[in-house]
Structure 1
């Protein structure tokens, strides 16, 4: 069992939850996630980690109420002990395989919306601790749903904002805003990493492909809000499990259109769980190694 230390409500139907989990906190790397079972009868929920406090042995989670299990975590303050939590799960971010000196010199752009801001915050704070920096583009339907803007402004070199209704920042899509940035600035990014809704990540993937910029996309939010904990991705000639062999993949290879068409379908049977979300094979367009790995 895992004790809930605190709960905050940064936006409607969304909770920021701090949990005492020293073993998991000591092992977590950027890009990984945890599975939480709030009560005995509920399902496990895959959640992005937004913060780790090694000294206190706590991890910060972001959860959105979309079904019974997630609603228990968001709306029921009497649940101060989670039945179970497992992790860390998934492969760490590509960034963790790179030399610190290379990370300090490289230019990164993170694009995040929805629960994806948690993963972006975790990775950017990790970069800061080793002397690196990043720009971030935050996307939301409105100002009230633009999460953790103040925190990003403290740790990022540049913070760009885009809202669907124009209540703050740029009024328009993520690609429209990217198109307004200086061309040299955009082409200067060594890696674009995106987290959030599938439609937004598709826009980022298409933009990166068209401009020849390496890009990765994280799918923890899809695992969390849809319960698709067993779906597979066809990456090139391979079929990969998003939960165990991801959750980040080469954004330019994902067939987002097919993923979007299936995103409203819950995986409730073994047959459904075996269905794959297709990924297009882009010959000669693999992510490759934009940064050198540690020996």
Structure 2
């Protein structure tokens, strides 16, 4: 159930990646109701920002009632959030999003996550969920970034059983090049037949991943990173075209869509 919450900050961890933070806050109802792909809309008191900013839910802990988001400092709202300390209040609305990631339930399915930047948190959430339900599941996480320093959000997933395959533009860690260079060999004709791809990140990356998945006839779920001014389906600022000429709202009918049900631009 969507709620407006004033959540006390538990901790604000500055990551090694320049300008990146993991903000943990106490919101038991949000922790209970959130699923991979859900997001929250945050208002930070900057004196200039009117619209709330969307952030994907990164972690939830039912025992403590804590949740977290991962963000990078890039404007007034996130600059203010970077200064939050324990005891401060996070003004949020959530969980938002009508359609979230759904793990393929077919026995023996190979789950391939392809993320980059802000797209990593919901995929990390999904990875933990899949492996908690089935510790023997095959989960491959392809994480792309400009350099090694910006590979964030996947720490500890390999301890749960995920296979991490990083890709960096400069080759400072893992594969040198785009995530599609890592993904393509995983989709060859002799690859495991039961495979589902889940992707979130920059639109050009997701478009390339979606087109590759469709070319190989594999299902692909994509969580779109689109501007969501209201987050509740009123403003139509996040309208996404579909093949039949209609539009879907990213914040209500999404943010997660099957690759085939939208027009990739």
Among residues 69, 84, 89, which one is paired with 1:61 in the alignment? 69
- Structure 2 match to 1:190: 195
- Structure 2 match to 1:170: 175
What's the RMSD between the two structures over aligned residues? 2.4
Question: What SS does the corresponding residue of 1:256 show, helix, strand or coil?
Answer: coil
- What is the Cα deviation at residue 80 of structure 1? 4.6
Q: Which segments of 5 or more consecutive residues in structure 1 lack a partner in the other structure?
A: 258-295
Report the TM-score, using the length of structure 1 for normalisation: 0.76
Question: What SS does the corresponding residue of 2:10 show, helix, strand or coil?
Answer: strand
- Structure 2 match to 1:108: 111
* Cα shift readout 1:69-120 (whole Å, capped 9, x = no counterpart): 122112x245852352111111243526x6xxx3553221110110111111
- If each structure's helix is expressed as a fraction of its own residues, which one has the higher value? 1
- What is the Cα deviation at residue 185 of structure 1? 5.8
Among residues 13, 20, 29, which one is paired with 1:23 in the alignment? 29
Alpha carbons of 1:185 and 1:157: their partners in 2 closer, same or farther (altered >3 Å)? farther
Alpha carbons of 1:117 and 1:181: their partners in 2 closer, same or farther (altered >3 Å)? same
* Cα shift readout 1:230-274 (whole Å, capped 9, x = no counterpart): 3111223331110111001122444333xxxxxxxxxxxxxxxxx
**Structure 2 Cα separation of the partners of residues 104 and 199 of structure 1:** 31
- The answer to whether the 8 Å contact 1:140/1:146 transfers is yes
- Structure 1 match to 2:204: 199
Say if 2:79 is the partner of 1:71: yes
- Structure 1 match to 2:216: 211
Aligned length: 249
**Structure 2 Cα separation of the partners of residues 24 and 178 of structure 1:** 33
- The answer to whether the 8 Å contact 1:90/1:243 transfers is yes
Say if 2:124 is the partner of 1:125: no
**Structure 2 Cα separation of the partners of residues 241 and 50 of structure 1:** 22
**Structure 2 Cα separation of the partners of residues 187 and 105 of structure 1:** 9
Among residues 25, 37, 40, which one is paired with 2:43 in the alignment? 37
Runs of 4+ in 1 over 4 A off after TM superposition: 184-187
**Structure 1 Cα separation of the partners of residues 102 and 190 of structure 2:** 21
**Structure 1 Cα separation of the partners of residues 45 and 87 of structure 2:** 10
Report the TM-score, using the length of structure 2 for normalisation: 0.84
- What is the Cα deviation at residue 46 of structure 1? 0.7
Q: Which segments of 5 or more consecutive residues in structure 2 lack a partner in the other structure?
A: 1-5, 232-236
